[in-house]
Amino acid sequence: MPIPKKVTKSFYIKGVRFEISLDEYVSIRKHQRDFSMEEHLFQTRALEMPEFTTPEPDIIKAWETVDPISAIQALKKFSSNAQQLMTVLSIMGPEATFKALKSKVKDQQTITKTQKRTFLKSDSSIDFTTTKKESSPSVASDLFETKEVTYNDTYTLHEVDKEQFGKDSGLENPIYVLQVECPSTHNHYFIFVDSEEPQCQDAIGAVAWTMVKDDGSCLSKEEYMELQAEA
């Protein structure tokens, strides 16, 4: 008698693998403004094989009936996998996430940085189709100039009250989440830090704590500030 095939379905969100149900997948995707029903159908028709492909009526039903996942549900579901959790929170967006969690800003600090960056001297007058020729594949260096750019790097340390997750959550301490904004893309990144660690009681100290030296120890706040001054 043939042994039945055991099929484990996986969904990929922003390149991160999730072994979740179709309903859970939809609950995450519904937070994406650019993710429509048509895109949902395309993504979930992975392989044209009966044992792998979800029937289209089931896909449509899930999209029409499943509610978006809440921030608390996301934390409970994906707390053991930081990569998955960060993916979900990034889709939900920082403002919506922390508003839903009723978090408070424990600390916020800004470092003013100056770096050299390369710019086109006159981007409106350059035609790359004629400037970059087959005989000379490299673009001439005199088309560019280097300037010093000063910008603010802001770090925000959020505190989420453990009471929001219920008495049976198993959490003994509040949750600290460090929010970092990329100065060039303005994307927000979230990092969970140890709320019991003395260095993680302020934003810059928490950033330093996330960086590991060659000997395995974490960077101190003072060492981090020295690196920024030398950059």
138-181 pLDDT, tens digit each: 666 777 778 777 778 889 999 988 777 666 666 678 888 898 88
What predicted TM-score, i.e. pTM, was given to this entire model? 0.59
Helix 22-29 / helix 71-78 crossing angle, nearest 10 deg: 130
Q: How confident is the model at residue 208 (pLDDT cuts 50, 70, 90)?
A: very high
Angle at 202 between CA 85 and CA 219, to 5 degrees: 80
Q: What was the pLDDT predicted at 48?
A: 47
Angle at 10 between CA 6 and CA 15, to 5 degrees: 155
Angle at 88 between CA 196 and CA 12, to 5 degrees: 130
| Residue 189 Cα distances to 91, 180, 182, 199, angstroms | 11, 5, 8, 20
Q: What pLDDT digit, counting tens, does each position of 14-50 carry?
A: 888 998 888 898 899 888 877 777 776 666 555 444 4
Lowest-confidence region among 71-75, 102-106, 142-146, 225-229: 142-146
Q: What pLDDT digit, counting tens, does each position of 84-118 carry?
A: 887 888 888 767 777 777 788 999 999 887 777 77
Checking if the pLDDT of 80 tops 60, the result is yes
Q: What pLDDT digit, counting tens, does each position of 47-65 carry?
A: 444 444 566 788 888 888 9
Q: What was the pLDDT predicted at 126?
A: 58
